[in-house]
Amino acid sequence: MMDRLEVEAAYEKLIERFRRWAARRPDLRAAFVVGSRGRANHRADEWADLDIVIITTDPQFYIRSSGWVRRFGEPLLTFVEATAFGGESERRVLYEGMLDVDFALIPLQKLQAILAAAADAETIAKAQDMIGRGIRVLVDKDGMVSQAQMFANSAGRSTPRRPGQKDFLSLADSFLYHSVFTAKHLRRGETWWAGMCLNCHMQSLLLKMMEWHALADHRWKHDVWFRGRFMEEWAHPRAVGELTGTFAHYDRRDIARALLASMDLFRRVATETAGRLGYAYPAKADRHVAHWVGKRMLEIR
């Protein structure tokens, strides 16, 4: 197993091979490193992957073919999936030494649209947030990455959107609805289906409420990372501590226990958030759901 310095050296060698190759490709107009190996804070450790954004006039070449990834190292596997935002694709590669590299493929036209403020607001905000945290430029043949950095720096990182009363109620209602959904499928004996709903979908709803809870607690000026990254730093410590009991094993009794714990945590965080925002919480529906689910889970436990 490589130590931290060896891992760092291996990634640097890969980056340099990519940079030289990218400089010779006419379709590849820009490339830069984002994530922990490019940003200013929360820098990379030996466990961090490498995220390279490719700006190209021919993204399909990188999607259809995989032979090009061999130019930078010996791949153990590679596949294509959707990017975290923006509706584009990325090729993910695992190289020897467990070097994990994501090549995000962005059409040139999309970057041009962002620079012209012609993209949708969400895409622009996400791009500003990504670039604003810091990047490492590898290739910038047309000066567009420099323009994007100036654009991001002038606009600053976007302020998270404050949810309206309808948004808040929709999230709370969805959580309560899926509490009943999970309980019913668990009682039916569908352990996998109930566990997936709890551990995946319901936890994503809980995460969103925890984000709003943290933002409301700091007057909407708080650095909440995407998809729960670094939650231990930005979420309320009590809420983070209570998460311990909200994930379930593949076991009917444990799912029943974790479901009740998740409902308790969501209720507390949501009611506190509602109070800070001056919103109504669906307390009546919560009482009915909690009573019904609690009785059915007690029969399992």
Given a cut of 80, whether residue 71 has pLDDT beyond it is yes
* 176 Cβ contact list (under 8 Å, min separation 6): 282, 285, 286, 289
In this structure, how many other beta carbons lie within 10 angstroms of the beta carbon of residue 100? 15
The segment(s) of the chain belonging to CATH 1.20.120.330 are: 165-300
Contact yes or no for 161/211 (Cβ under 8 A): no
| Nearest-5° Cα angle at 79, 77 to 18 | 75
- Distance in angstroms (rounded) separating the CA atoms of residues 158 and 138: 25
Using one digit for the tens of pLDDT, what is the confidence trace for 159-212? 678 999 999 999 999 999 999 999 999 999 999 999 999 999 999 999 999 999
- Please provide the distance, in angstroms rounded to a whole number, between the alpha carbons at the two ends of the chain: 44
- Domain 4-155: homologous superfamily in CATH: Beta Polymerase, domain 2 (3.30.460.10)
Using one digit for the tens of pLDDT, what is the confidence trace for 84-126? 777 899 999 999 999 999 999 999 998 888 777 655 566 656 6
Given a cut of 60, whether residue 157 has pLDDT beyond it is no
The segment(s) of the chain belonging to CATH 3.30.460.10 are: 4-155
Residue of 193, 155, 167, 191 lying closest to 274 (CA atoms): 167
Fold of 165-300: Four Helix Bundle (Hemerythrin (Met), subunit A) (1.20.120)
Using one digit for the tens of pLDDT, what is the confidence trace for 123-142? 656 666 666 677 889 999 99
* 162 Cβ contact list (under 8 Å, min separation 6): 215, 220, 277
Instruction: Please give the structure tokens belonging to residue 1.
Output: 């197993």
* 7 Cβ contact list (under 8 Å, min separation 6): 46, 97, 99
Model-level pTM greater than 0.95?
Answer: no
Segment (H or E) for 112: helix 108-115
pLDDT value at residue 124: 58
Helix (H, G, I), strand (E, B) or coil at 219: coil
pLDDT value at residue 92: 97
pLDDT value at residue 120: 57
- Distance in angstroms (rounded) separating the CA atoms of residues 195 and 202: 10
